[in-house]
Amino acid sequence: MGNLHTYCIYVCVSHIRFWHGDNLPFDGPGGILAHAFFPRTHREGDIHFDFDESWTVGNELGTDLLQVAAHEFGHVLGLLHSLEPGAIMSPFYSFSYPLQLSEDDKKGIQYLYGPRPQTLLQIPTETNEIITSAPDACHTDFDAVSVIRGELFFFKASYAWRIREGRLQAGYPALASRHWRGIPEKIGAAYEDKKGNIWFFEGSNYWVFDAEHKIKGPDPLHTIGLPVTDIQAALCLKEDHVHRTYFFKSGNYWRLDSQDTAFQRSIQEHWSGIPDEIDAAFQDAHGFVIFISRRQYWKFDSVQRKVLEGYPRSVGADFFGCSMP
């Protein structure tokens, strides 16, 4: 133990409900179980447990308090989430008894408190939560998909998956509100405009963010010239050095012009071969438009005005590496 450097931290544990003064509200039974604050943050050492969970110890009759507490103490010590199944620091709760550290858990804590590494780990300045479950990307359709800051984000319910250079990033899926606080729990469509602002749509409203900072919303869709609600997909398309914004719903699309007025057309007039009911659309790095409907996607050539041969293909297989049934 002589080689270990020491780090002293005071821990405050609370069982609380819903809004509790840190802008990270709990959500009742299920969902978010607890969260903790990392070292060197303004609330370091604080751990909050959701009072509304059915807490138990050593059995599957409820949520095991010791297992969740061990996870949160890991965050208090500075550990990030682990992608290793069954690890204490996995972001998703699954009952395991007796409580044991995985090899990844051990390596993480040794990295922080064993012999000092050549480069120090950058500890984040926000909390991390442990949540009960998230949709399986291999067995779900998605509510929205968008390229944001050059990365591909898939949205389902309150969760987001983040893909960079074709690879799912560590720590995902995660709650979308970790990036964009103030968006609704479910979104119907999303896109990034030519200025880099991110637009989210749900029901009759929209929200606009500059990076992770909300600058507008919720505002009614009619204020931007859209005569419909419940948009299913949104697309910012760069064609001939001009950015055009399209919105899709039930076999029709609307394009906003510079005067913020929209005209309606049938999808088949402009996007022949695409399903009438689509869930998401985005332009890929090669200029093709990707249309997603349920668990399949179509790649559309905007110059030739046609779907490429070999489509539709599987979203799960091509974007998430899922095995085909």
Q: Would you call 239 a catalytic residue per the annotation?
A: no
Q: Is 79 helix (H, G, I), strand (E, B) or coil?
A: coil
Task: Name the nearest CA neighbour of 235 among 275, 273, 279, 202.
Answer: 279
| Annotated binding residue 151 | no
Q: Is 184 helix (H, G, I), strand (E, B) or coil?
A: coil
| Annotated binding residue 213 | no
| Annotated binding residue 50 | yes
Q: Is 93 helix (H, G, I), strand (E, B) or coil?
A: coil
| Annotated binding residue 105 | no
Torsion angle defined by CA atoms of residues 83, 190, 230 and 224, in that order, rounded to the nearest 10 degrees = 160
| Annotated binding residue 46 | yes
| Annotated binding residue 53 | yes
How far apart CA 220 and CA 224 sit, in angstroms, is: 8
| Annotated binding residue 48 | yes
Both tokens of residue 206?
């929209």
* Burial of residue 123 (number of CB atoms within 10 Å: 0-12, 13-18, 19+): middle
- Catalytic entry in 72, 129, 192, 202: 72
Task: Name the nearest CA neighbour of 187 among 173, 170, 207, 167.
Answer: 207
| Annotated binding residue 75 | yes
Pair type for strands 63-64 and 55-56: parallel
| Annotated binding residue 219 | no
| Annotated binding residue 1 | no
Annotated binding site for Ca(2+): 27-28, 46, 50, 53, 143, 190, 234, 279
Annotated binding site for Zn(2+): 20, 22, 35, 48, 71, 75, 81, 89
Annotated binding site: 20, 22, 27-28, 35, 46, 48, 50, 53, 71, 75, 81, 89, 143, 190, 234, 279
- Enumerate the active-site residues: 72
